Amino acid sequence: MTPGEKKTVTLIPEDGYGLPRGDLRIISSRASVAGDVRLQVGMVLSGQTTGTGRLPLRVADQTESTVTLDGNHPLAGRHLVFELELVEIVAVETAAVS
């Protein structure tokens, strides 16, 4: 690209946040998930993984007795579109490493 040039770049899901994984959707009883917390679809809870730490879980659906939690990234399965414009090229001096 040259300064002033614009470009649109589209990434397919496999090159972005991946495809949604079914094993990251969990249906659980309301009582075991939130206790007395008022859940709302879209709310993000923190889950514990085995060995790797915490996983954000989005409330995807709920009934009177169950909650569906989704551990997929919110952009999983989506095409990502970036509008780029090269404004300026700046030279950067680097120090020699001996």
Segments forming the whole domain that contains residue 80: 1-19+76-98
Same structural domain, 31 and 64: yes
d(CA 77, CA 18): 6
Q: Taking residues 49-70, what's their average pLDDT?
A: 88
58, pLDDT greater than 90: yes
d(CA 66, CA 74): 21
Task: Quote the tokens at residue 23.
Answer: 């094993």
Same structural domain, 63 and 81: no
Which of these ranges, 3-7, 48-52, 53-57, 66-70, has the smallest mean pLDDT? 48-52
Q: Between 5 and 32, whose confidence is greater?
A: 5
Q: Between 7 and 46, whose confidence is greater?
A: 7
Same structural domain, 37 and 61: yes
48: pLDDT confidence band, cut at 50, 70 and 90? confident
Same structural domain, 55 and 80: no
Question: Running DSSP on this structure, what letter comes out for residue 14?
Answer: G
Same structural domain, 40 and 66: yes
Same structural domain, 7 and 32: no
Q: Residue 98: CA atoms inside 13 Å, Cβ hemisphere, count? A: 0
Which residues contact residue 14 at a Cβ distance below 8 angstroms, ignoring those fewer than 6 apart? none
